[in-house]
Amino acid sequence: MKTAVVTGGASGIGYGIAQMLEADGYRVVVMGRHDEQAVREAMKMLPHGVYVQGDLSSEHDRERLLDMAGELDVLVNNAGVAPKVRTDVLDMTEESYDYVMDINLKGTFFLTQSAAKRMIAQGKGGCIINISSMSAYTSSTNRAQYCISKAGIGMVTKIFADRLAEYGIGVYELRPGIIETDMIAGVRNKYDTLIYEKGILPIRRYGTPEDIGRAVCAIAGGALAYSTGEVINIDGGFHLQRL
């Protein structure tokens, strides 16, 4: 049985990805910040899954995650946080900036670095999939640190795709759009209006974690074997520039 690691995999997009990888026959190792009691019900839907509580910004926790995974076939860098409080970019604090960047960008980079070394040592290739966001290219001035972190993931993807290609390790970036998860709860009314009344999306619906999971499974299964560094938008067509 192949092993896939999914960070932030006990809820939201990550949980949808983990469920679909499990259905595809993977042993899924999930990392999250909540204690095991809080995710017990969710993990019941992953009977072959392993939950590792940890903080992606911690080197110790990143290494412990990979140790628990053992031989690694797929890494899905999904974990990400939004700022605790949305504030105008002119009022953003260093503390808020560091909180988001340490997890979303720094933690993801160094987990990828460690996982890549292990995949190289295994000598059988592998697959790394970075879950970015439409925020990688879309300005939100009240959560600038989140946008910056996701833009950074784009370059992380390119750098590791370039470096790891010789070892048969493909690296990809998925850019979800407006996905129906708890993260949008505070702005649900805004998005309802944009999607259903103003038609901001050509495909007029919210995305689902399963939409992202299907793309992950396709890539992990070798559907893009002659491609690396690819960016795939899963956003209902938001990235299209329309008049």
Nearest to 80 by CA among 4, 163, 175, 164: 175
Residue 95 amino acid letter = E
Is the CA virtual torsion 184, 186, 188, 193 positive or negative?
A: negative
226 is catalytic: no
Structure-block tokens of residue 212: 């992202």
Q: Read out DSSP for 183-216?
A: GGGGGHHHHHIIIIIS--SSS-S-B-HHHHHHHH
State the Cα torsion 148-151-155-157 to the nearest 10°.
120
Q: Are 72 and 118 in contact (CB under 8 A)?
A: yes
**What whole-number distance in Å separates Cα of residue 107 and Cα of residue 79?**
9
> Which residue of the set 51, 146, 172, 206 is catalytic?
146
Joined tokens for residue 59:
């080197």
Catalytic residue numbers, as ranges: 146
